[in-house]
Chains A and B, each alone.
Chain A
Amino acid sequence: MYKYRAEITKGEEIRYISHLDYAGVMERAIRRAKLPAAYSEGFNPHIKIAFASALSLGVISDAEYMDFELTKPLCQPEVFDRLSKALPPGGKLLRLKEVPEPKPCKGKKHKALMAEVQEAEYELYVPLTGDWQEAVQAVEAYNKAPEAMVHRVTPKTNKMIETKQYMLKPVKLSMAGDLLKLYMDIAITQSGSVKPGEILKLLQAEYNLPVDEPKVLIKRISMKGQGKALIDLV
């Protein structure tokens, strides 16, 4: 098997596709590209494809990662061109690398993409409803707090999460045109993480950040392992 890693954007056009649907979109793209994909065994064969970390509905991204396997060793430019042409609007292939076979002495298997990701950086753009000083104070207060809890309620979970343990750097803020721009660098760990949208809600609710939170645009700008973009790990 020949494994490749792709760095792909998730733009405005495909912003509202869930992670599960996104996987289907990518699988069909590989099929349209007529790449000799490797399939799983079993009654219902699927293309062997893996993703780094699920993106919340409505979040766009400069860098999503996907590993997939082919049964023939095609050269990188050919795989790049074929996949590029087959991707839907909003999904732009930025980089593609073949993942070399690991040396036998270093273990037999490739490390799973999901296990490699350790952090993700985000930019959030949101209308400011108060003045700049209030915003600065709110963010400073959050950055200084020893801990800050969010309440996560989904159909499956209902729990309190301490957010500061995941904040690798202080939240930064600036103005981008009319919008307040926030920067967050968030750790992704085996035991969990926190979403940038959750931090924003917390900032607004508990730290009085004066923003129109429902209007936010969140963009993932990087996903890294060992301080490097996931594609630079291969």
Chain B
Amino acid sequence: MIIKLEPEILQAVEKPARYTGHELNAVHKGWESTPCHFALALPDVYEVGMSNLGLKILYEVLNAREDTACERVYAPWIDMEEIMRQRQIPLFSLESFHAIKEFDFLGFSLQYEMIYSNVLNMLDLAGIPIWSRERGENDPFIVGGGPCVYNTEPIADFFDFFIVGEGEELICETVDVFRNWQEAGKPEGRQGLLKRLAVLDGIYVPSLYNVTYNQQGLFADIEPACPEAKPIIYKRLIKDMDSVRFVEKPVLPYIDIVHDRIMLELFRGCTRGCRFCQAGTSYRPVRERSKDKLRELARKLIDSTGYNEMSLTSLSSADYSCLGELVDDLFSDFKDEKVSFSLPSLRIDSFSIDLAHKMQQVRKSGLTFAPEAGTQRLRDVINKGVTEENLMAATEAAFRQGWKQVKLYFMMGLPTENDEDIVGIAKLAEKVARKYKEVTGRWGVTVTISVSCFVPKPHTPFQWYGQLPEAEFHRRQRLLKDSITERAVKFNYHDARVSVLEGAIARGDRKIAQVIYQAWKDGAKFDGWNDLFKNDVWHEAFAKCGIDLHLYNERAREPEEKLPWEHTTPGVSKEFLLREYGKALKEQLTEDCRRGKCSACGVCPSLKAKVVDWRRENV
């Protein structure tokens, strides 16, 4: 079925270009002539979905195959959803406008937990059964990928399978297996394909496992229920970043999207070892693209899009080993084309400031740093290798270069945090503000502190830690607010209500699926959007399902407990995480293995991978 949206519908919704496709570089293939149809979804609105780099990559990887038509779909905004439900218009793709239900696969990029209600809503809009067990032979296979695969259990019952880790190779292997199964006449039906996929490294098929709970109803164990299912699924990773396909012709949106610029991915992984950070453990080890490869990609991307802005993206871009030279080369390559470059994250040192100065030339939009904690003691706990002197030197350099706005990111509710650490945030910010006066002789600086509520995440050293109760977050937010006396300091904080729910889902088990389902049934969607978040609906959903939220977010786990997420692993060992948690409590630092000694996290041996650092390779 091909969906045709009448003009009267498009005229009635906000930003109709979200639904009309035909963007430049979008790939249109003949439906009948391609045997595999793969829809890629991000369960958020078009402007957010179109900004996701992972999906851009997979879109090109899949469309490079002759046998596969890969198309896009995003969550319709609430105005469009209402019309689609009224008129019974099913969810459709933005290339061929086929109903999503007609695809062979529907892949969801899962970026954070509070987007799960949108996954359910999209399945429902597509007319696909929400629970995997209720899907029939004609339904698409629902596949999940992205950062949330490091604890899939809360959504395990909604998905047919997950791709754990980096998907470029594995998604092609998945299609190969599908094609063989398809050509063989789909032996054993749906179950047959899932069993064939389960043997691939990095594929997790939740329905092929049995989960048991202890007397208190807590997760006890998960075991394979058939020989195809592996007890542990290690993530997949790309060993050679230069040879893997990257985005060369991204789909060019007609309307302004969240990241409306080229994203040039310098490297994957970050081994600085911040103990709260899930990305820091899940993307290990560091693997850089070479400078020459990056220049070649930059040229192709500028030529295929006409963008005049390029972001040099990575988890910690300033750590790219040849960054100085790369920036010089890019500047000279694009000097006549007025391309501007930016770094999404800055390290707290003067090298970063000089670089930012060079890149921004005259426009001084404001600098962002992430000290993460207010005192040296707590920064040592989280292994954030940054001192107050570093921050003062960096901001001094920035003020000398003319910046007048500084944004500082912090977290609240970290392990061992006390009131002194909270007040320390205010003191640090005020010290930065006074530094401006000292450097320039004037007032007039704005120091914005943005403080999020810490959510312990799976596969990090803090995965055992009990999250703070909501009321305690509120008390600490008030304490911080009252501690700020300087007018130059502006305080932004996150909604603790969302963070405690995220805390429960992030470390949830399969029982949480019922809660997500109930919350969605009762109207939860777009929970990441402040004005649409329905706190009561979620709390009622926990109550209706008879599940105690606090057992999931506030309960500290025991070191010997088996955790519901250990079977889908980025390869970091439990011993390493426990060792790091112990060092955190003793306020001891761990070196970055890229420059200092190996911290024996276990990734390289378990995945047969190694660090790729071009400065080191070239020595």
Q: A residues within 8 A CB of B307?
A: 28, 31
Asked whether any CB of chain A lies closer than 8 Å to the CB of B471, the reply is: no
The answer to the question of B532 belonging to the interface, with a C-beta cut-off of 8 Å to chain A, is no
Query: Given that A45-B338, A90-B22, A217-B7 are contacting pairs, would A28 and B254 also be in contact in the complex, using a CB cutoff of 8 Å?
Result: no
For residue A39, CB closer than 8 A to chain B, the reply is yes
- Checking B22, B302, B306, B362 against A30 with a beta-carbon cut-off of 8 angstroms, the contacting residue is B306
Mark out the residues of chain A between 24 and 49 whose CB falls within 8 Å of any chain B CB in the assembled complex.
24-25, 27-32, 34, 39, 43-45
> When the two chains form their complex, are residues B10 and A16 in contact, meaning their CB atoms are under 8 A apart?
yes
Q: Select from chain A the residue with minimum beta-carbon distance to B256.
A: A21
Closest to A71 in B: B336
Residues B1-47 near A (CB distance < 8 A): 6-8, 10-12, 16-17, 20, 22-24
A176 at the interface (CB under 8 A from B): no
Partner of B22 from A14, A32, A214, A217 at Cβ < 8 Å: A14
Contact B17 A215 (CB under 8 A): no
A97 within 8 A of B: no
What is the minimal beta-carbon distance from A85 to any residue of chain B, in angstroms? 11
| A58 close to B7 (CB less than 8 A) | yes
Q: A14-B22, A17-B255 are in contact. Are A43 and B362 (CB under 8 A)?
A: yes
- Other-chain contact of A32, B12, B254, B306, B362 (Cβ < 8 Å): B306
Q: Which of A28, A29, A216 has the most CB of B within 10 A?
A: A28
C-alpha spacing A43/B361, complex, angstroms: 8
Q: Which residue of A lies closest to B5 (CB)?
A: A16
Closest A-chain residue to B252, C-beta based? A28
Judged by a CB distance under 8 angstroms, whether B329 is at the interface is no
Which of A17, A27, A30, A214 lies in contact with B254, CB distance below 8 A? A17
How far is A44 from B361 in the complex, measured between Cα atoms in Å? 10
Interface readout for A204-225 with B: 1 if CB under 8 Å, 0 if not?
0000000000111100000000
| Set A15, A28, A43, A44: member contacting B305, Cβ < 8 A | A28
Contact (Cβ within 8 A) A32 B304? yes
Task: Check if B255 sits within 8 Å of A215, measured CB to CB.
Answer: no
Closest residue of chain A to B10 (Cβ to Cβ) is A16
Q: Is B124 an interface residue (CB 8 A)?
A: no
Set of chain A residues within 8 Å of B575, measured between Cβ atoms = none
Q: Is the CB of B10 within 8 A of A58?
A: yes
- Any B CB within 8 A of the CB of A88: yes
Q: A residues within 8 A CB of B308? A: 31
How many inter-chain residue pairs (CB < 8 Å) link A and B? 66
Contacts of A45 in B (CB 8 A): 338
Chain A residue at smallest Cβ distance from B362: A43
Contacts of A171-218 to chain B: CB distance below 8 A: 214-217
- B6 adjacent to A215 (CB under 8 Å): yes
Q: A14–B16 Cα gap in the complex (Å)?
A: 10
| Chain B residues with CB under 8 A of A215 | 6-8
Alpha-carbon distance A29/B7, docked complex (angstroms): 26
Judged by a CB distance under 8 angstroms, whether B240 is at the interface is no
Closest residue on chain B to residue A32 by CB atoms:
B306
Judging by beta carbons under 8 Å apart, are A216 and B7 in contact? Answer: yes
Most buried by B among A14, A18, A31: A31
**B363 touching A29 by the CB < 8 A rule?**
no
Smallest CB gap from A88: residue in B: B24
Whether B255 and A21, one on each chain, are in contact in the complex, defined by CB atoms closer than 8 angstroms, is: yes
A13 within 8 A of B: yes
Q: Which one of B17, B24, B256 lies within 8 Å of A16 (CB-CB)?
A: B17
Instruction: For the complex, give the distance between the alpha carbons of A39 and B335 in Å.
Output: 13
Assess whether B540 is interfacial by the CB under 8 Å rule: no
CB-contact partner of A14 in B11, B254, B302, B304, under 8 A: B254
Q: Mark B340-373, 1 if CB is under 8 A from A, else 0.
A: 0000000000000000000001110000000000
Q: Which residues of A contact B254 (CB under 8 A)?
A: 14, 17, 21, 25, 88
Interface range, B side:
20 to 34
| Chain A residues whose C-beta falls within 8 Å of the C-beta of B22 in the assembled complex | 13-14, 88-90
Q: Kindly state whether residue B303 has any CB partner on chain A within 8 Å.
A: yes
Pair B363/A214 contact, Cβ less than 8 Å? no
Residues from chain B with Cβ under 8 Å of A25 in the complex: 254
Any chain A CB within 8 A of the CB of B176? no
CB-based nearest B residue for A216: B7
Q: In the complex, A217→B11 CA distance in Å? A: 11
Q: Mark B532-573, 1 if CB is under 8 A from A, else 0.
A: 000000000000000000000000000000000000000000
Q: Kindly list chain A residues whose C-beta atoms are within 8 Å of the C-beta of B6.
A: 215
A44–B20 CA distance with the chains assembled, in angstroms: 31
Q: Which of A17, A29, A30, A34 contacts B17 (CB 8 A)?
A: A17
**In chain A, what residue has the closest Cβ to B361?**
A43
| Interface core residue of A16, A18, A31, A89 (most chain B CB under 10 Å) | A16
Instruction: Assess A28 versus B10: contact at CB under 8 Å? Given A16-B20, A45-B338.
Output: no
A24 — nearest CB in chain B belongs to which residue? B256
Q: Are B363 and A43 interface neighbours, CB within 8 A?
A: yes
Determine which of A13, A30, A214, A216 lies in contact with B12 in the assembled complex, contact meaning CB atoms within 8 Å. A214
Give A215 to B12 CA distance when docked, in angstroms.
Answer: 11
Please measure, in the bound complex, the distance between the C-alpha atom of A27 and the C-alpha atom of B304, giving whole angstroms.
Answer: 14
A86 at the interface (CB under 8 A from B): yes
**In the complex, B337 has a CB within 8 A of chain A:** yes
CA distance A45 to B362 in the complex (A): 11
Are B11 and A15 neighbours in the complex by a CB distance under 8 Å? no
The CA of A45 and the CA of B335, in the complex, are separated in Å by 13
Q: Does A94 contact B (CB under 8 A)?
A: no
Nearest CB on A from B343, distance (A): 18
* A-side contacts of B338, CB under 8 Å: 39, 45
From B12, B20, B306, B363, A28 is in contact (CB under 8 Å) with B306
Closest to A214 in B: B8
Chain B CB within 8 A of A74 CB:
no
Residue of B nearest to A14 (CB): B254
Known: A16-B20, A43-B362, A89-B24. A32 touches B305 (CB 8 A): yes
Across the interface, name the chain A residue whose C-beta is closest to B308.
A31
Shortest beta-carbon distance from B489 to chain A in Å: 27
Nearest A residue to B19 via CB reads A16
Residue on A nearest B360 in the bound complex, by CB: A43
Within 8 A of B (CB), among A57-96: 57-58, 86, 88-90
Shortest C-beta distance, A115 to chain B (Å), equals 28
What are 19 A-B contacts with C-beta separation under 8 Å? A16-B10, A17-B17, A21-B255, A28-B305, A28-B307, A29-B306, A32-B304, A32-B306, A34-B303, A43-B363, A57-B11, A57-B16, A58-B7, A58-B16, A88-B23, A88-B24, A89-B22, A215-B7, A217-B7
Report A's interface with B, CB cutoff 8 A. Answer: 13-18, 21, 24-25, 27-32, 34, 39, 43-45, 57-58, 86, 88-90, 214-217
| The 9 A-B residue pairs with the shortest CB-CB distance in the complex, in nearest-first order | A28-B306, A31-B306, A214-B8, A32-B306, A16-B16, A13-B22, A43-B363, A16-B17, A17-B254
Beyond contacts A58-B10, A215-B6: 5 other A-B pairs, Cβ-Cβ < 8 A, are A14-B254, A18-B255, A31-B307, A43-B361, A89-B22
